[in-house]
Amino acid sequence: MKKIKLLVSVLTAGMLLTAQPVYAAGTGLMMNDAPVITAGGGQMQQSGGPGMSVGQSGPGTPGQAAVTAGSGNAGAPAGPAAVSGGATQSPVIVAGGGASSGAAAPGAGSNANAPGMPGADAAGQSSGENGMPGGELTPVGDSAAAGQEAQDGQAAQGGGRYVDPARPMVALTFDDGPQPSVGNRIMDTLAQYGGKATFFLVGDRVAGHASEVQRMVAEGHEVGNHTMNHKYLQKLGAAEIQSQVVRGNDAIQAACGVRPTLLRLPGGNNNATVRANTHMPMIQWSIDTLDWKTRNADRTVETVLNHVKDGDIILMHELYSQSGDAAVRLIPELVNRGYQLVTVSEMAAAKGHGLEAGKLYSAFH
């Protein structure tokens, strides 16, 4: 009888140990006491824990991923996320609470002021297409993140996409598209290495290349607005600025069903009138490859690899074949160096930044 009681006790203890919940991806529940927030298309709300999550999608269309990590309380539990909308793309999950600056990958350099890239003035106005634009570089704190083993376990169950705030990441951004001969090559390589990018599209080019824009959304890339006609907004009045932004958003939404939430200013140029009338977060950059000027893949690759660090936003252009050549070389090398290739919204979320209309963002260091 004693042996039977002992066996029951052992079995009971084993059940308690193994009954710790490991939830399938897409449930919005947590793992290892760290908030796990599911994004994807549709409106998303989280209850019962810190942080918020945001998603956007047109009815019945694939949504763009947009997530925010927890509010800095790494161990606080998160409640289930309620998801609605017609999204069909795989969920994106940010594991771990709070913001994290991560650790730079070995060999990553400093890009405080890269040679040959003029800085912005106090108002955040850049000096042309090749100028280094101003922006908000808000310091972020460290946080605990779910263990890699736990993430791998969820990935195996849910087949979703995971952004780890504790690991270094960069956002590759491509302006002036769509241009299928270049953009499809970039997306092919990103698909091979599990990366995502942000494409800032010119509205008057979108209707002619709608299938490429639809592919961007279907594969989880972020589509942003680069105005309707690529006009330098600092030269325009308030009404025309608003028209360039709204018409660009309308054109992109008409092509793919997703309305952009981020704007890139042509040339990065801005002034007080621009900042007051775009009514969108404005995404600048911390590494300007000058690919539009050099049209040299080697120079573009060298510029990125010599300066890249965790939290950088990298500026390239979709129009040029040399930029495509550079991208298909950079993508595997950045992954090899330990960087996650994420969208701008994914990186802002993982770093604990909310993106506000009328503000400039150059990096998330």
Q: What are the φ and ψ backbone dihedral angles of 200, each rounded to 5 degrees?
A: -95, 110
DSSP 112-124: SS-TT-PPP-TT-
Say if residues 38 and 83 touch (Cβ distance below 8 Å).
yes
Handedness of CA 252, 257, 259, 264 (dihedral sign): negative
Is 152 in the active site? no
Cα 229 to Cα 250: distance, rounded to the nearest angstrom? 13
CA-based nearest residue to 287, from 111, 169, 128 = 111
Cα 69 to Cα 347: distance, rounded to the nearest angstrom? 10
Size of the chain in residues: 365
Matching residue, tokens 């961007």: 216
Selecting among 317, 325, 353, 365, the annotated active-site residue is 317
Longest CA–CA span in the chain (Å) reads: 90
Cα 190 to Cα 161: distance, rounded to the nearest angstrom? 13
Say if residues 207 and 255 touch (Cβ distance below 8 Å).
yes
Cis peptide before 178 (omega within 30 of 0): yes
Say if residues 55 and 40 touch (Cβ distance below 8 Å).
yes
Is 317 in the active site? yes
Selecting among 175, 176, 288, 325, the annotated active-site residue is 175
- SS3 percent helix, strand, coil of the chain, rounded to 5, is 35, 15, 50
Helices (H) and strands (E) counted in the chain, each on its own, are 11, 13
Active site members: 175, 317
